[in-house]
Chain A
Amino acid sequence: MKASYVIIGAGISGCSIAYNLAKKGVKDIIVVEKHYLTAGATGRCGAGVRQQWGTEMNCRLAKASIDFFSIAKDELGYQGDIEFKQEGYLIVAVNEEEDKQFAKNVILQNSLGIPSRKITKEEAKEIVPHLNTDVILSATFCPTDGHLNPFTMTDAYYQAAKRLGVTFLFREEVKSIVVKNDKIEKVITTNHEIHTSNVINAAGGYAKEIGDMVNVAIPVYAERHEILVTEPVEKIQGPMVMSFGMNIYCQQVPHGSFLMGRSNPFEKPSHNIESSWQFLDEMAKTVCTLLPPIGNLRVIRQWAGSYNMSPDRQPIIGTTDLPGFYVACGFSGHGFMFAPMTGLLLSEIILGEPLTIDITDLHIDRFKTARDIVIEKSVV
């Protein structure tokens, strides 16, 4: 087999990159996926899309991505329902430090055209009536943040890419990448040898291992994050409710179920994605404190997925020291919501086009230099 570009990973990032390259006229693209569509982090994520970030870069990527999601169904010609819902994110401040930081975040967000606002806890209770305001100081709210179905959204990219001629190889694992004289020669999978000079690493939790195959050291690691879903009930909550201090995000999806997750600060880097009873225990305590009536709902399933963590919690997108080897990884739990920009911007980099958003600062070389990196703190 021959390919102009081999993309590793059929999560939303890989599918978006494939679609954007194909739309710009690139032929003979092959996407290789170890399991099935959305088997990795995309299909395990919390299905939220937000613009309320603490770094300018993340704000810009998120806003432009949400602008795309709002027209994605028509743009991609998708028959199904991507379940895009814009009822906001309510981010609650639970201590003085967060209260002050959120005020600064809102100024930054507003300067970039993101319609977030700082609100009192009484105003927050009007938006989410079952919120326990005894445990919060204030909140920020952005009405254009929201929800999107990760499975159908990825399927929309996948089907659009296929129509543009992209080949997808599922249940095939990349075993090695042959490089000679600083030039990629071929990708060897469990079933094929694909001759190519270009490889795009969109392998999510396994991005580091793919980098190691070509001796490009990518400073990322996989970290388990757990999540659960309740039985569906009538709609009682519009926005995603989130707290960094209490360590929780919780939303009611259009289907009626509540989805919620939190991080484990003691989690060690690994590819473990098994569920734990400790998560269930901590999650129940946290949600019953912040959103007490949710305690009456039954948990029906829990699962886990890998965040691909970067040192500054911002993505790594662009070229590398090896010609023809590109990376789109290190999303630190936010690859789903940035995917439209990941695909667009990486295709622009690859084809040498002017960039829609300047993402020079997301290049992997930022970790080589001594200058301070800007760390995103608004992460659960």
Chain B
Amino acid sequence: MSKKDIIICRCEDVTLEEIHQLLERGYTNIEELKRLLRVGMGPCQGTTCMQLIQREVSKFLNIPIEEVKTQKVRPLTMGVKLNAIKEGACDES
């Protein structure tokens, strides 16, 4: 299967080919890949793609996967509507 047909980040439609292109250009930090490709920035927040990307970085740099730092985990853990947040705040006051 061609690398451009393999989707790594399903939220943002990022292919294995795009990841490999950036690795070859020297962007080997997951935070950099995230900012330039939007991997891990979609609704799943990297829970689907991050391990796959770690594996690609590990293979590319020839280092153990546990040495490849993942992205900073940020809130929220799942999508919540702004209205729900607002209404929750009113109930509390």
Contacts and interface: CB of A to CB of B under 8 A. Distances in A.
Are A and B genuine complex partners? yes
B85 A231 contact: no
B63 interface: no
Interface in B37-73: 38, 41-43, 45
B35 A151 contact: yes
A231 B35 contact: no
Interface string B70-93: 000011100111110110010000
A55 interface: no
Nearest to A288: B86
A35 B71 CA distance: 13
B89 A299 contact: no
Contacts of A281: 85, 89
B7 to A, nearest CB: 17
B36 interface: yes
A297 B75 contact: no
B82 A230 contact: yes
A161 interface: no
A300 interface: yes
B17 interface: no
Nearest to B89: A281
Given A284-B82, A284-B86, A301 B35 contact: no
Given A43-B35, A231-B43, A299 B79 contact: yes
A288 B31 contact: no
A369 interface: no
A151 B36 contact: yes
Nearest to B38: A255
A36 B32 contact: yes
Chain B interface size, as a band, is 20 to 34
Given A39-B31, A151-B36, A302-B75, A296 B83 contact: yes
A247 interface: no
A303 B82 contact: no
B82 A152 contact: no
A37 B83 CA distance: 35
A229, A275, A300 — which one has the most chain B CB atoms within 10 A of its CB? A300
Given A151-B35, A255-B38, A284-B82, A301 B89 contact: no
Interface in A213-255: 229-231, 255
Contacts of B43: 231, 298, 300
A284 B80 CA distance: 11
A347 B47 CA distance: 44
A196 interface: no
Interface of B: 29, 31-32, 35-36, 38, 41-43, 45, 74-76, 79-83, 85-86, 89
Given A231-B43, A299-B82, 18 more contacts: A36-B29, A36-B31, A37-B32, A170-B29, A280-B75, A280-B76, A284-B83, A284-B85, A284-B86, A284-B89, A287-B82, A288-B82, A288-B86, A295-B82, A296-B82, A298-B82, A300-B76, A301-B41
